[in-house]
Amino acid sequence: MVKSNTSCSVPLGTLAIDALAIASLWCTSLIIVNPVGNFPLNDDWIYGLTVKHLIETGDFRPTGFTSAQIITNALWGFLFCLPAGFSFNALRLSTLALSLLGTVGAYALMRNVCQPRWPAVMVALTLGFNPIYYSLSNTFMTDVPYTAITIFAALFYVQSLKRDSNLDLLIGTALAVAATLSRKIGITVPLAFAVALILKRGVTTRNIVRAAISPALCIGALCGFQHWLAANGRLPAVYYYRTDQLLHVLAEPERHIRYVAFNAYVVPLYLGWFLSPVLLSALASFWGRHKKRAMTIFAVSLGAMVVRGVLALALHGSRPIMPLSGNVIDKCGIGPFTLRDTYFLNYSLRALPTGFWLVITATSLAGAGLLITAVGLGAIDVAARARSSKMSDSEAAGTFLLLSALIYLLPILAIGMFDRYLVPVIPLLAAGIASLSPQLPRIDTRGSRFAALALLATLVVFSICGTKDYLAWNRLRWKALDDLRESKQVRADDIDGGFEFNGLYLYDSKYVGNPNKSWWWVRGDTYLIAFRCVPGYTLIKEYNYRHWMPPYAGKVVVLQKNPHDGELQVFPAPEGD
């Protein structure tokens, strides 16, 4: 059963009430997290320096350690820095604003594909309190702005498919160009729209031209921007790193089969976890259409995932328990933990209980099976309908949204990922599955309602507590660095303060690494910021904070190198993002 082409309308009052409720809950959580602090987090010093240079000189010149376009992000951050000048607080506020818009946009996208309030609110909260989306909302990273812009581009593309509207197409294209000039992978959304438009409207000259407009403008904007960067000597040193990786895999695919297979295992696990509240809500809908086929797909996909994990453990000793990818989510909570002792010397903070990660792994496995089942059933329905007649509005919207997600994921499967790369596909998959299903139920059974809410509550608590801990230790790290530089008059080039500190103050594209020092542009390491004492160093000061998840007394320490002590070997630097 598929929804007809009838349009759905939602009273503006209902939209306003729901949006206000979502925004109130999300903003209230920020009071707990306390995202204040004029310091960079993760990679956002890279983009922050670009904004700082733009404000001071009026010149856009990206830092060399990035492969993203970031012109969209730099201009957005620039606007928020205009009132009071450059600061990471202003940049963080700019991301928080887009994050909230993206969360409400996910709700609007669900209502636009004719879903009732409950599933729409569930999707919005599942995205807004996703541990990666939520934590990165408190940074100036590109992931959240890119996701928010993509959501609204998808919203207008869906409108264009339903109404055959040139105005919606124009607005969607403008947003897609903005997304592409944030991250080049933004081209995937207009490509998916082009395919969906041809499938829905048929192969005519008019439809081909309309389908080609968005991809052509996005590609043209991207190529023109890249040419301008290169012609003016502004092209970052690692700009083509990800592209070169992909071309290398395509040139010799047989050498990368095992790596691609691992990515194909990890990606559904993470998405299954992230989408678990929504997938449980959708269970009754897509399960009831083809019960026998659904059970078969679910059993086969779940069995394959379990066997893959057991084989990895038996043959390679690989830990089959989440988290299995790096960057934001860590066994100790939310990171990354970018200090020398944790990053290089194998010192780990106190991890969350193994039982917690076993539950998350089981949820991820079940969620991966449900996700594959839902996408598989939707694809079967669309393929059957495409052979007999034109697509309905719902089928066209679902095809577009799922294609956007799948095309986006293809290069990730080929070259690998940081866990944060998966955030943009969460709302696309949720809305795509909803579009290809009968109207999702309001979950009238008490057991289903509580189960979905329990999964959502787990994400909310993990996100809030983990983000608060992440900001707390970083706030102390930067206080320790400020104290060290002010009270002891220590220069930045004599400190290993971690990735963000050394990147912010000492980044040099021509830096030659020392195998006995951290790779992040450390010139001298007389002083070291760490979570614990390190051999060869003496403790000179300790800063304490209360760690929430798991609960314990955390600390950040300032260490001074002992004279004539030997150095410790570290690992080579990864490439920039």
Average pLDDT of the chain to the nearest whole number = 89
Cα angle 368-372-377, degrees, rounded to a multiple of 5: 150
Examine the domain organization and report whether 474 and 490 are in the same domain: yes
Longest Cα–Cα distance of the chain, Å, equals 80
Is-contact 452 446, C-beta < 8 A? Answer: no
Work out the pLDDT band at 444, boundaries 50, 70, 90: very low
- Residue 459 sits in the same domain as residue 495: no
Q: Work out the angle at residue 342's Cα, subtended by the Cα atoms of residues 337 and 344, and round it to the nearest 5 degrees.
A: 120
pLDDT band at 435 (very low <50, low <70, confident <90, very high): confident
Bridge pairing between strands 495-496 and 527-530: parallel
Query: Is the same domain home to 454 and 538?
Result: no
Percentage with pLDDT > 70 across the chain: 91
55-102 pLDDT, tens digit per residue, is 999 999 999 898 889 999 999 999 999 999 999 999 999 999 999 999
In a domain? residue 3 = no
Confirm whether 447 is domain-assigned. yes
φ/ψ of 330, rounded to 5, equals -130, 160
Last residue of a domain, which of 433, 468, 503? 468
**pLDDT value at position 108?**
95
104: exposed, middle or buried (C-beta count within 10 Å: 0-12, 13-18, 19+)?
buried
**CB environment 472-509: b (16+ within 10 A), e (fewer):** bbbbbbbebbeebbeeeebebeebbbbbbbbbbbbbee
Selected residue with higher pLDDT from 568 and 34? 34
Q: Which residues contact 478 (CB under 8 A, 6 or more apart)?
A: 37, 39, 501
The whole-angstrom distance between residue 493's C-alpha and the CA centroid of its chain comes to: 32
Q: For 523, list phi and psi in degrees, rounded to 5.
A: -95, -50
The Cα–Cα gap between 403 and 310 comes to 31
Confidence of residue 40 (pLDDT cuts 50, 70, 90): very high
User: What is the total count of domains within the chain?
Assistant: 2
One domain for residues 554 and 454: no
Give the three-state DSSP class for 547.
Answer: strand
Half-sphere exposure of 455 toward its Cβ, with a 13 Å CA cutoff?
27
Q: Which amino acid is at 470?
A: Y
Boundary (domain end) residue, out of 468, 500, 524: 468
Domain containing 481 equals 469-561
Q: What pLDDT score was predicted for residue 308?
A: 83
**Interval 159-213: pLDDT, tens:** 999 998 999 999 999 999 999 999 999 999 999 999 999 988 888 999 999 999 9
pLDDT score at 285: 64
DSSP per residue over 330-353, as a string?
ETTEE----SHHHHTS---PPPPP
Residue 7 domain flag: no
Asked if 160 contacts 177 with a C-beta cutoff of 8 angstroms, the reply is no
What angle do the packed helices 291-316 and 354-388 form, to 10 degrees?
140
Under the banding of pLDDT at 50, 70 and 90, the label for residue 356 is: very high
Q: Verify that 388 and 525 share a domain, yes or no.
A: no
With cut-offs at 50, 70 and 90, classify the pLDDT of residue 4: very low
Asked if 404 and 479 sit in the same domain, the reply is: no
> Is there a domain that residue 463 lies in?
yes
pLDDT band at 1 (very low <50, low <70, confident <90, very high): very low
Residues 463 and 476 occupy one common structural domain: no
pLDDT tens by residue, 281-331: 776 666 666 678 878 888 898 898 888 888 776 666 667 899 998 899 999
pLDDT of 573 strictly over 60? no
Q: Give domain status of residue 574, yes or no.
A: no
For residues 345 and 571, what is the distance between their CA atoms, to the nearest angstrom? 9
CA 193 to chain centre: 22
Claim to verify: residue 159 and residue 289 sit in the same structural domain: yes
Over residues 131-155, mean pLDDT? 97
The structure's pTM equals: 0.93
572 is a domain residue: no
What is the structure's pLDDT at 451?
85
Is 4 among the domain residues? no
Query: Is the pLDDT assigned to residue 121 strictly greater than 90?
Result: yes
